[in-house]
Amino acid sequence: MKLRLFLWNFILVFLFIVVTIESKTLDPYKVLGVDKNAGQRDIQKAFHKLSLKYHPDKNKEKGAQEKFAEINNAYDILSDEQKRKNYDLYGDEKGNPGFDPGNAGGQGGYTYFTGGGPGQGGFNFGPGGGQGGSQSFSFSFGGPGGSSGFGFEDIFQNFFGGGGMGGGSQFGGFGSSGKFQSRDRGSRKSLLSVNSEYYRKEIADKGITWLLLSYTSSLQGIQQFESSVQEVASSLQGALKAGSINCDTSASLCKELGMSPRRAPRIFVYSYKSSDASSLVEYNGEMETKSLKIFCQEHLPRISRRVNMAQFDSEAGTVGSLPKVVLLSTKKNTPVIWRALSGLYRKRFMFYDAEVSDVSDPNVARLGVDALPAIVGWLSNGEKHVLRTGISVKDLKSSIQELSKLLDSFESRNRKIASEKSKQKQSESGNTQIPLLKRSNFDDICGDGTPVCVIGVFRSSKAREKLEKILSVVSQKSLSRRPNAASGGRDTVSYSLLDATNQQSFLNAFDKSGFRSSDMLLLAYKRKRGKFVTFIDELMTEEAEKFISSVLNGDVLFSKIRQTPELKY
C-alpha cells in the first residue's frame, strides 16, 4: 500500500512538472498587442499589421523570422475559438492535458490531490466537494479491477513508452518525447487543392477568375494566408474561385507558372485582359482582406468595351455571327458582375457597357428601356431585344447564375436566327456556298440537332477548290434513307470545309494520326452519338454521293471518336 501511494505521488509530481513546462509559452495577447477581450476583427488587424512588418521577405533584421513565427503562433491560438478558450482557462491552447472539466466547487480555485483505494485514486484541480462558484477539474484512475481510467501496470508504459493514456483515451496522450499530444478538435476547411491536371482542365482558358495560393509544407503562416484567400473568395463568390497549389507535390506546375514560393506563401490572380489573353499576376500588398479584395476586383476580366451610347453603332465591329449585349447603368466604371460575365462568355458574345444618367436620357429612351440597370442585346441579323431592366443584384453568385441563363437563352435564339438566315440565303441564290468550319459556327453547322455533319477536309488550295465544287453539287440533291428505315423520312445533312493545316488538333480527336497523309478527304460526323466515318479514296462527285447515301442508309461502319473535337478558332 505504501508503495502504491508513493507511485501515485510520483506521478502527480511528474504531471505538475509537465503542466508547468507546457504553460511556459509566450502570451499570444502580448505578442499581438491586443486586450484579452479583443474581438476577432481586432485580432486579425493586429496580426496583419505585425506579419507585414516582420515578414521575412521584407524585414531582413536579425530576429525578424523568429518574431514572424511568434506572431503566426499567437494568431493560430487566438483565431481558433477552442484554442483561445483553452489558453484562457489553462494557459495552454491544447487544454489541461488529460483532464476533463468537472463540477463547480467552492474552495477558492487552488489545486489539491486526493488518493483513494484501488480503483478510486484521483486528484482534482480547483475546489472540490462543495458547490461554489469556481470550476474544478478532476481525473481518476483505477487500481486492479477498476473500471475507469487505467491500472498501475500501464502507468509507466503509457507515460514513457510512447503510447496514449489507456490506448483509447478521449483526451489524448503522451508521445515518445514525453510531450502531451491532444486530439484534433476539428480542422479549418482547406482551399481546393490544384494540381497540373486540374489546372489545365478546369482553370486554364475557362474564363473564370481564380485566386491561387502557392506554398510548401515547411513554410510558416500557411493557415493565415488560406484564411485571407477564403474570405476574399467568399465575398466575391460567383466572380472568382480559389485554390491552393502545394509546390512540394506539384513542383513542375509551380515552376512552369513561375509561382514557386520563397520564404513565405505567395498569392496570384489568374484572369483575362482580353478574350484570348490570360494573365497570372502576383499580389504583393499588405496581407489584409480589404486590400486583397480590391486587388482581385482590379484584375477581373476587362473584355467589355466601354462606349458612349450617343455614338454607339450596334452594327459596327461584327465578329462572325456573335450576338452583342450592352449594359446600361449609372456606374462610372464597368460593374464587377459584368466583368465576370464577360470573362465567362468572352468567346460567345461581344460585350459593351455604358454610363447613362437615368431613363430620361434620350439614348436610353430610344432603346425602349424603362428602368436601370438594363441589358440590351442585338442578334446577328441586327434585331434588337431589351433583355432585362431594373436589374437587382442580391449577391454575386445568384445574380451571375441568373444572368447566365439570360445570355444562354439569347445565344440559343441567335443560333436559330443565323441558321434560318443561312437557309434563306441559299434558297434565294439558287446555289450553295460551302462554309469554312470555325469555332464560331461549329454549333450551327454540326450541332446536336444535325444528325450527320459532312466535312470536306483539305490541306491545299487545289484540294479546297475541288471539294467545294463537289459538295456544292451534292448538297443540292435529296439524299434519303431507305424506305424501310426507322425514321422513314429525309435525313438532315450539313456540309462544311475544314482547313487541316490550321485545325490539326480537331482531326486528332478522330484519328491518332490526324489523317496527315491525306491531302483531301470526307469526314461524316454524328456529334450526338460521338461517331464518325471517313472516305479517303480518289474523290469525285459520284463517289461523294455514294458515300453520303451509304452513311444515311447505314451501309458503313462508324467508329467512336477518341475525344471530343474542339476547334482552335
How far is residue 21's CA from residue 568's CA, in Å, rounded to a whole number?
66
More reliable by pLDDT, 188 or 232:
232
Task: List, in order of start, the domains of the chain with CATH numbers.
Answer: 2-182 (1.10.287.110), 192-298 (3.40.30.10), 305-417 (3.40.30.10), 442-560 (3.40.30.10)
Closest by alpha carbon to 46, among 61, 28, 26? 28
124, β-bridge pairs? 112, 138
How far is residue 326's CA from residue 407's CA, in Å, rounded to a whole number?
12
φ and ψ at 39, to 5 degrees?
A: -80, 170
More reliable by pLDDT, 519 or 433:
519
Q: Which residue has the cell 439569347?
A: 410
Cell of 133: 462558484
How far is residue 392's CA from residue 550's CA, in Å, rounded to a whole number?
56
Q: Which of 67-76, 381-390, 393-402, 536-545 has the highest mean pLDDT?
A: 381-390
Cα separation of the two ends of the chain = 89
How far is residue 363's CA from residue 361's CA, in Å, rounded to a whole number?
5
pLDDT averaged over every residue in the chain:
77
Q: Is the pLDDT of residue 110 over 50?
A: no
Range with lowest mean pLDDT among 10-24, 327-341, 435-449, 504-518: 10-24
Q: Is the pLDDT of residue 126 over 60?
A: no
Residue 401 CB partners (closer than 8 Å, separation 6+): 238
The SS3 assignment for 124 reads strand
pLDDT on residue 62:
84
Confidence of residue 95 (pLDDT cuts 50, 70, 90): low
Cell of 219: 513554410
Confidence of residue 129 (pLDDT cuts 50, 70, 90): very low
Q: Based on the number of CB atoms within 10 Å of its own CB, is 102 exposed (0-12), middle (13-18) or buried (19 or more)?
A: middle
Percentage of the chain surpassing pLDDT 90?
Answer: 37
Q: Kind and range of the H or E element at 205? A: none
How far is residue 467's CA from residue 436's CA, in Å, rounded to a whole number?
12
Q: Based on the number of CB atoms within 10 Å of its own CB, is 343 exposed (0-12), middle (13-18) or buried (19 or more)?
A: buried
Q: Are 325 and 410 in contact (CB under 8 A)?
A: yes
Cell of 464: 479546297
The SS3 assignment for 524 reads strand
Mean pLDDT of 110-114: 38
Confidence of residue 325 (pLDDT cuts 50, 70, 90): very high
> How does pLDDT run across 29-69, given as a tens digit for each residue?
999 999 988 888 888 888 888 888 888 777 888 888 888 88
Residue 491's CB is within 10 A of a number of other CB atoms, namely 17
pLDDT on residue 319:
55
How far is residue 523's CA from residue 472's CA, in Å, rounded to a whole number?
16
* Cα atoms in the Cβ-side hemisphere of radius 13 Å centred on 310: 4
Q: Are 56 and 264 in contact (CB under 8 A)?
A: yes
How far is residue 227's CA from residue 191's CA, in Å, rounded to a whole number?
9
Which long-range contacts (C-beta less than 8 Å, at least 24 apart) are formed by 540-545? Answer: 540/470, 541/469, 541/470, 541/473, 541/474, 544/470, 544/471, 544/474, 545/474, 545/477, 545/479
Q: Is the pLDDT of residue 168 over 90?
A: no
φ and ψ at 62, to 5 degrees?
A: -65, 130
138, β-bridge pairs? 100, 124
Q: Which residue has the cell 480547483?
A: 126
Confidence of residue 255 (pLDDT cuts 50, 70, 90): very high
Mean pLDDT of 145-172: 35
Q: Are 162 and 14 in contact (CB under 8 A)?
A: no
For residue 164, give the DSSP letter: B
Q: Is the pLDDT of residue 14 over 70?
A: no
Cell of 563: 475525344
Give the rounded distance of the alpha carbon of 118 from its chain centre.
59
